[in-house]
Every structure is written in C-alpha cells, then in structure tokens.
Amino acid sequence: MVDANSPVRPAPALLPALGAMTSLQALVALALFAPGVVAPRAHIEVWQLSMFSCAVFAVGIPASFWGGGFIARLGSLRIASLCAAAIMASMALASLGTTAALLAAGLCLGLAFGPETPASAALLSRLVTAERRAFVFSVRQTGNQIGAVCGSLVLPALAISLGPAWCYAAVGACALLAILLFERLRPTYVGKAVPPPELGLRARLALVTADRRIAMLALASMPFSAMQVSLNTVFVTLGTRELGLSHIEAGMALACAQAGGLVGRLGWGFVAMRLDASRGVLVAIGLGMAFCAALLGLEGASLGRSWQFAMAALFGLTASGWNGVFIAEIARLAPQDRIGEATGAVLTASYAGLLAAPALISILDAAASLGAAFVALACLALGGTLALIWGGHDKAGQ
C-alpha cells in the first residue's frame, strides 16, 4: 500500500511527491491540449476536437469515480506510471492523423485523465498540514498551466516546422521520462497500512450528497470545468476565426491565459490559505470567469491586441486558476480516510461538465458562433457561483 504514513518511520518528504504529481498533471494537460493547439496546421475541425474531448471525459468519468480503490491497492505513484503509459499510447494513436485514431487517442487519454487528481489528493493529503493544504494543492494544480504554456508555445512551432506528428512524439517522450521518475520515487512512499474496505456505488455517492457544502462544490464545478476546457481546447480557433489573430498570435494569447492560470493557482491558493476562506475565493473566481467569457464572446473582436492578450491572461487567471482551492476544499470536508474516493466522486461531476462542454460548443458554433458559445458558458458559470454562495450558508449547520 502506497501513500500511508507508517507508524514506525517518519513521513516521507513532501517536495518530491509534490514535484512528481505536478509533473503528472503537466503531462496530462500537454496531451489534452495538443490536438487543439496544432489544429490549424493539422486541419482538425472543431467537431473533431469536440469528439476528442468527449472521448477523454467519457472514459475519465468512470476512471475517476472508481479509481479510488485502485489507488488504495497500487499506490499513487504506480497509478502515475500507468497514467503516463496511457499518455504514450494516446499520442501514438493521435499521430496517425485520422478521425478514428483521434477518437481512440481520446479514449486512451481518459485512462490517465480520470485517476491523476484523486491519486495526487490521496498522496499529498497525508504529507501536508491542514494549514498549508490549500496552497500545496494549488501548487500541484499548476501542472495544468505548466503543460498548457509549454504546449501553447512549443507545439505550434513544432507543427509548423516539422509537422503535427512530431508534436505528439514530443509529448510521448516526456511521458516515458516521467515513468522513470515515478518508479524511482515509488519505494520511498510505500507503507504497510491496510487499505480501507472498498466502497460501493451508493456509498461513493453518499460522500458527495451527505454534506451540502460538498454537493454544491460538485454542482459548481460542472460549469467551471466546462469553461476551463473550452478555453483550453478552442481558444486558438476562436482567436484565428473571430478575434483576428494569426495562428502564432492565438497560441501566444493562449499561453498568456495559461500563464494567468499559473499565477492564479498559486495566488488564489495563497489568498485562501491566509484568509481561511476557500469558498469565498471560489465565488470571486466564478464571477471573474463569467465576466471574461462574456466580454470576449461579445466584444473580443473590437478589442486591440494588447487588450485581447490582457483579457486572455485575466480569463486564465480565473477559468484556469480555481482547481487547487477546489481540491483543497474537498480534502478539508471529506472523511480523512476517504479523500481519494471523495475527490474522485466529486470530480465525476466536474468531468460531466467537461464532457458536456464540447457538445455545447459544437452546437452553438454551428448555430451562431464561438463567441456566442462563450457567452452561454458565462451564464452557466454565474449559476455555479450562485450555487457556491447558497451552499456556503449551510456551513455553520454542518
């Protein structure tokens, strides 16, 4: 059993585990964003990107929901190695360039996307104090931005100079290196504790529904996740099609958004830690992402280049900056021996938002425009923010 502190030896160091799990998320993000950022050069249409994303999340939902038991038996770092192997397989399939191969790549990537966050939560929650949890979890979630920024800056250039297949090969090579890192660290975090009994479907659902605060977190995470995945997957297309940006400029704007998300994950986590107000921070983030999406969707084309890049950064600060505070809040409210299972159960709702977003984007893009789709997402994010406010009123009663 991995991830449990043995009573006969001191707890392993936090930083190596934090670095490893941050690297895992960076890899997943890099693989998830790869088709979107190379889409103009690879001639990938919006409906194909939506199909890829839907495939990832369709597999990621059950993989996250049921992954807690595998994490308890195999350990977080072994799960991390298996996730990296799934990324390698996914990128190999995507490099074939056909629609069927892209669909298969998405299904394969879902096997990595689903378990990686619950595995990280299960490991890190046992290595960090309650006071530092929000900040440490926010640091871990910066892996998403690290992967996205690297992908936004490097992959378009690789696609233009060498071809899209080389982009996928580069991601696969990074995954191979990650497996070597995870397996080297794994013995350090092996303990002798016996995993808790496996939970059934009803018990897993009860982890979410028994506490209204957790239930409202799950509800709000659906539009928040939909906003984030839309920013990550179709922003380059929005920029080239409706904002008047070139492919390189759109990639740079997306890099600004992900850099904003990187600052946001660290900054929001620090603010939540200092103020001890994670839910209030999430409310502010929800309002911010709704404003940015609505402005870019309605008036983005009329903004100058500087304002477009500034709004992209602010969009990323909010739409890509909420996850660390969110995961830390789940870990705080969940039963402490069931953090992995509770995180996976709540993330099922998040992933449902990820699954629905590509279909919504495709429908609204065909009926109106991508700008209209972002306005619709802004309205949904505002509704999720109201759910957070309502759920927070029950805190004292819990």
Domain segments of the chain as ranges: 14-190+198-392
Amino acid 337: pLDDT? 66
Check if the beta carbon of residue 281 is closer than 8 Å to that of residue 332: no
Distance CA 294, CA 302 (A): 13
C-alpha distances (whole Å) from 240 to each of 38, 231, 249, 391 are 12, 14, 8, 39
Would you state the pLDDT for residue 92?
A: 93
Question: Residue 2: beta bridge partners?
Answer: 190
CA distance linking residue 29 with residue 23, whole number of Å: 10
Q: Can you spell out the DSSP letters for 184-210?
A: HHGGGGB--PPPPPPP-HHHHHHHHHT
- Residue 354: exposed, middle, or buried by beta-carbon count in 10 A (0-12, 13-18, 19+)? buried
- Return the pLDDT at 194: 47
Structure confidence by residue, pLDDT tens digits, 182-191: 999 888 877 5
DSSP letters of 339-367?
A: HHHHHHHHHHHHHHHHHHHHHHHHHHHHH
Q: How far apart are CA 249 and CA 309, in angstroms?
A: 9
Output the tens digit of pLDDT for each of the chain's 398 residues. Answer: 444 444 444 556 788 889 999 999 999 989 988 888 787 777 777 778 878 888 887 888 888 777 666 777 788 889 999 999 999 999 999 888 788 999 999 999 999 988 888 888 878 877 877 778 778 888 887 887 788 778 877 888 888 888 888 889 999 999 999 999 999 988 887 754 445 555 566 776 777 777 788 888 888 999 999 999 888 778 888 888 888 888 888 888 888 887 888 888 889 888 888 888 888 899 999 999 999 999 998 888 888 888 999 999 999 999 988 888 888 888 788 776 677 677 777 878 887 887 788 888 888 988 888 888 999 999 999 999 998 988 765 544 44
Residue 163 has φ and ψ, to the nearest 5°, of: 115, 155
**Interhelix angle for 323-333 vs 133-161, to 10°?**
140
276 contact partners, CB below 8 Å, separation of at least 6: none
Helix, strand, coil abundance in the chain, percent, nearest 5: 85, 0, 15
For the chain, the straight-line distance linking the first and the last C-alpha, in angstroms and rounded, comes to: 32
CATH superfamily of 14-190+198-392: MFS general substrate transporter like domains (1.20.1250.20)
Degrees (nearest 5) of the Cα angle 19, 190, 128?
50
b/e sequence 248-273, b meaning 16+ C-beta within 10 Å: ebbbbbbbbbbbbbbbbbbebbebbb
Tens digits of residue pLDDT in 222-278:
999 999 988 877 888 888 888 888 888 888 888 888 788 888 888 988 888 888 888
Contact criterion met (CB below 8 Å) for 350 and 337:
no
Cβ–Cβ < 8 Å for 48, 36: no
The answer to whether the CB of 381 falls within 8 A of the CB of 353 is no
